[in-house]
Amino acid sequence: MKKLYPFIILAACLTFTSSCKKFERLIAVITISANESSLLVKGEVIDVAESTVEYGFCWGTTTSPTLANSYIKVGTTSSAKLFETTLSGLQVGTYYVRAYAQGDQGTVYGDPVKLQISSPYVEYYYDDGDSDYGWRYNAGYEGWMGNKFPITTSGTILSIEMYFNHVDGSGNDVLNVDVFNASRNQIGSTSDFYPGDDSWVSINANINYSGAIYVMAHWDYTQEPTNYLGMDQNGPNAYMDLGYYRDGDLSWGKCSSLTSGNQQPGVFLVRLHVQLSSGKTVTYTPQIDPGTNQLIMTEAAGIEAMDTKNKNND
């Protein structure tokens, strides 16, 4: 979400000595430009002690950048002056930015402002945290179940969380998660994991994606029955009907279309932790609260369903 952050004002008393008077203060104001791809920096020269001074900004990865680092000259003035410019091309990392003014008697700097630029982290999910139903593939069958995520961003899926409902008689077989793109071509896979007992399971992923994806638990001819992947059928997003299956013959469909279930729309309890590849978040030190960024939010064989409220198999 694009957001214009409030100003941070940094004032420093400087000791630039002149035979006439002191170069009293340099004020630097820094804010994020609206497009989030550059920094709009603003400053003010107050009480010039010489006939003309050059002013601008310098920045770098050291705590006290100087003109020996990166800098940009904004202009010259012989009187008090407001000024601003845009710093572009800053990559993810830590930077220090400060204003400078330079005359015949030397160069003075404002105090540095620390900028921490990072790719934003977001969580995608559609469930309300309550499992009302459950699905699994029976032992001896191959298939996939999970959610479609109709997202438009690009980035890296760092980890995936899935909620599984316990059922008596489940064994110790493991599953993995496969991720498919909007064309339903597989783009990544996780290591094996054990489906938990009425609990969330966190699975490391590190899978790059772009646009809409399907995130699917994979039953690979398990030898024993497993727990059920939980589904939310009563939450505010259940109507989106994002729960899908992929059968071993590679046919796809919505779980709500299966006659073995209760045919209600729903979303699986599947959550993604993502680092986005576009956009930047910036943290200031000294810092004022910039507000909070929020990014919201033929029938398959061998499929079995369970009403998790009563734990009765359909």
- What the chain holds in terms of domains, given with CATH numbers, is 8-118 (2.60.40.10), 121-279+291-313 (2.60.120)
pLDDT by residue, tens only, the chain of 314 residues: 333 332 333 333 332 222 333 333 444 444 444 345 567 777 777 766 667 788 899 999 998 899 999 999 999 887 877 888 888 877 778 888 888 888 887 888 877 877 777 777 889 999 999 999 999 999 999 999 999 999 998 999 999 999 999 988 888 899 999 999 999 999 999 999 999 999 999 999 999 999 999 999 999 999 999 999 999 999 999 999 999 999 988 899 999 999 877 789 999 999 999 988 866 666 555 432 222 222 222 333 445 555 544 444 44
Burial of 250 (0-12, 13-18, 19+ CB in 10 A): exposed
**Beta strands 53-60; 93-103: pairing state:** antiparallel
- How many whole angstroms from its chain centre is CA 275? 4
Spell 288-309 as b/e; 16+ CB within 10 A means b. Answer: eebeeeeeeeeebebbbbbbbe
Phi, psi of 36, rounded to the nearest 5 degrees: 60, 5
Nearest alpha carbon to residue 84 among 35, 34, 23, 39 = 39
d(CA 222, CA 219): 6
Among 240, 246, 266, which residue's Cα sits nearest to residue 133?
A: 266
Cα 314 to chain centroid distance, Å, stands at 39
Whole-angstrom Cα distance, residue 217 to residue 163? 11
What pLDDT digit, counting tens, does each position of 284-312 carry?
554 322 222 222 223 334 455 555 444 44
> For the segment 144-157, what is each residue's pLDDT rounded down to a tens digit?
999 999 999 899 99
Burial class (CB in 10 A: 0-12, 13-18, 19+), 54: middle
CA nearest neighbour of 176 among 141, 222, 133, 213? 222
